[in-house]
């Protein structure tokens, strides 16, 4: 994992992008000495999104099994009034 400041990132943006994309390095972007954001390759992002989707599905499944759900007609009413 690489840590870099925003100014260093700006100066070498294409290098950092290539390191993330092809070198599969994770880059932590620091601001005032604190982590602010991260740069990862597309494959890592896709895995993260798949994990999030799976977690959301499991949570929904658990709620459905426990009966902790909202009737569909109430859900649509909530959506219409939002």
- How much is the pLDDT for 64? 75
Listed by start position, the domains of the chain span 2-42
Query: Using an 8 Å Cβ cutoff, are 30 and 10 in contact?
Result: no
pTM of structure: 0.66
Query: Using an 8 Å Cβ cutoff, are 1 and 7 in contact?
Result: no
pLDDT (tens, 9 = 90+) of the chain, 82 residues, equals 999 999 999 999 999 999 999 999 999 999 999 999 999 999 999 999 999 988 888 887 777 778 766 777 777 776 777 6
- Does the domain spanning 2-42 belong to CATH 3.40.1620.10? yes
CA distance 23 to 16: 10
Name the 3-class secondary structure at 25: coil
- How much is the pLDDT for 68? 67
Beta strands in 1-82 (DSSP E): 2-5, 27-31, 34-39
Torsion sign across C-alpha atoms 17, 19, 21, 24: negative
């Amino acid at each position: 994992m690489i840590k870099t400041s925003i100014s260093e990132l700006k100066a070498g943006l294409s290098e950092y992008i290539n390191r993330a994309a092809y070198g599969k390095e994770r880059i932590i972007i620091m601001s005032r000495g604190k982590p602010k954001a991260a740069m990862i390759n597309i494959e890592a992002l896709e895995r993260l999104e798949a994990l999030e989707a799976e977690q959301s599905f499991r949570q929904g499944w658990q709620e459905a099994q426990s009966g902790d759900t909202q009737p569909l007609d109430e859900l649509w009413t909530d959506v219409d009034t939002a």
